[in-house]
Amino acid sequence: MLPTSPISRRFAGLLAIAGAVAAFATNAAAQAKLDSPLHLVVGYAPGGATDRVARIVGDKLGAKLGVAVVVDNKPGAGGRLAAQQVKITPANQNVLMLANPAVMIVAPLVFKDNNYDAERDFVPVSHVNDYNFALSVSPTLPVRELSHLLAWMRANPAQANVGVPATGSLPHFFGLMMGEKAKVQTQVIGYRGSAPLLNDLIGGQVPIAVDTEDVVLPQHSAGKLRVLALSGAKRSPFAPDIPTFKEAGLDLSATGWNTFFAPTSMPKAKVEQLALAIREVMQDPDTQRKFKDSGMTPVVSTPAQTAAMLKAYRAQWAPVVQKSGYQP
């Protein structure tokens, strides 16, 4: 037998390591097959933005996991009912909750009888999408830039009403944040959803509105209202002609999101399996196209990255919500 050199032995060792890694990956993929259906719980009725996200992800997640994926809509109490139910899920059940900041950031700050702790009762699994807030004005209002609107609001404080789709929503608190940053008085008016808000904005019954970009951009494109600024740190790919707040002269940026959470009862290994499967789904070009077609920015994230995002988000929004004095 010919003697082997140190380089040959090192190369053989690297091959062995590579083989072990490949075997580990194969085993991990095999272990990702669940033994029962996975339920994706959404705290809102079918058809809304959070529900659409759950169905886009769920359509491909089943193939990854080898089981049926069922979207369970459990509307009630602004999404809090779903959180209250998911937190007590037994460890042997496959359940994830898809939630937004209203449920996981705002509600714990304003409801004394919340019956769940967003940080203690849930484990972040995967942050899957972001969306911007849009500042819109009625076509009857003679302003076309943010600076003009702020000047109008200062000159007409009694008329400077800002409509939002719901009191206690992120658009509500973003409207307050905008007013504080611009040093203008804002009177926030809550509606029962985006549809009546848009009707009043287009008709001139309310002069200003804050809602999510996926709701208002089609109306902006149709010329039924004017979007003056979007809340992202950079221009939205869905409306590259509309400036950010910073570009329009107001140092302000914020986004909303949808994130999957597991109850703390779920074993860590299963959380990691589900996180990996969701991450692979979110990397799929077809999934990303569907998110963009819905006016939402897809995000590929690990549990650690998701936890870091949530920590930063709480630090940004908790002072705004608390300072507002909002009471449900």
- Same-domain pairing of 109 and 50: yes
**Listed residue (213, 233, 56, 223) closest to 135, CA to CA:** 213
Write phi, then psi, for 120 (nearest 5 degrees).
-85, -35
Q: Domain containing 308 — which CATH number?
A: 3.40.190.150
Identify whether 10 is part of a domain. Answer: no
Q: Work out how many domains the chain is built from and give that number.
A: 2
Cβ pair 50, 258 in contact under 8 A: yes
CA distance 257 to 299: 9
- Same-domain pairing of 160 and 239: yes
Give the DSSP H/E element, type plus range, for residue 23. helix 6-31
Which bin fits 78, alpha (ψ -120 to 50), beta or left (φ > 0)?
left
- Same-domain pairing of 146 and 170: yes
Residue range 95-150, pLDDT digits in tens: 999 999 999 999 998 888 889 999 999 999 999 999 999 999 999 999 999 999 99
CA distance 78 to 105: 13
- Same-domain pairing of 155 and 232: yes
Q: Which DSSP state fits 243?
A: P
Cβ pair 111, 282 in contact under 8 A: no
Domain termination site, one of 216, 248, 280: 248
The confidence score (pLDDT) of residue 32 equals 47
Say yes or no to pLDDT of 311 above 60. yes
Identify whether 6 is part of a domain. Answer: no
- Same-domain pairing of 123 and 181: no
Q: Domain containing 179 — which CATH number?
A: 3.40.190.10
Domain residues for the domain of 295 are: 38-130+256-324
The confidence score (pLDDT) of residue 7 equals 47
- Same-domain pairing of 174 and 240: yes
CA distance 76 to 26: 42
Identify whether 307 is part of a domain. Answer: yes
Residue 18 is encoded by which pair of tokens? 């590579």
Write phi, then psi, for 125 (nearest 5 degrees).
-110, -55
- Same-domain pairing of 217 and 136: yes
**Listed residue (246, 267, 279) closest to 132, CA to CA:** 246
- Same-domain pairing of 229 and 136: yes
Cβ pair 41, 82 in contact under 8 A: yes
The pLDDT-based confidence of 26 (bands split at 50, 70, 90) is very low
Say yes or no to pLDDT of 27 above 50. no
Identify whether 13 is part of a domain. Answer: no
- Which residues are paired to 133 by β-bridges? 212
Identify whether 180 is part of a domain. Answer: yes
* Range in 30-34, 92-96, 194-198, 323-327 the model is least confident about: 30-34
Identify whether 5 is part of a domain. Answer: no
CA distance 54 to 71: 7
- Same-domain pairing of 309 and 283: yes
- Same-domain pairing of 240 and 270: no
**Listed residue (96, 89, 116) closest to 50, CA to CA:** 96
- Same-domain pairing of 95 and 183: no
The pLDDT-based confidence of 53 (bands split at 50, 70, 90) is very high
The confidence score (pLDDT) of residue 13 equals 52
Say yes or no to pLDDT of 3 above 80. no
Domain termination site, one of 248, 279, 296: 248
Cα dihedral value 174, 193, 260, 131, nearest 10: -50
The pLDDT-based confidence of 185 (bands split at 50, 70, 90) is confident
Domain termination site, one of 220, 248, 276: 248
Which bin fits 298, alpha (ψ -120 to 50), beta or left (φ > 0)?
beta
Residue range 239-260, pLDDT digits in tens: 999 999 999 999 999 999 999 9
Residue 158 is encoded by which pair of tokens? 């009694």
pTM, two decimals, is 0.82
Identify whether 16 is part of a domain. Answer: no
Cβ pair 43, 103 in contact under 8 A: yes
The pLDDT-based confidence of 238 (bands split at 50, 70, 90) is very high
* Range in 2-6, 169-173, 246-250 the model is least confident about: 2-6
User: Helix (H, G, I), strand (E, B), or coil: what is residue 14?
Assistant: helix
- Same-domain pairing of 226 and 141: yes
Identify whether 282 is part of a domain. Answer: yes
- Which residue, chain included where needed, has tokens 């900041």? 101
Residue range 62-81, pLDDT digits in tens: 999 999 999 999 998 889 99
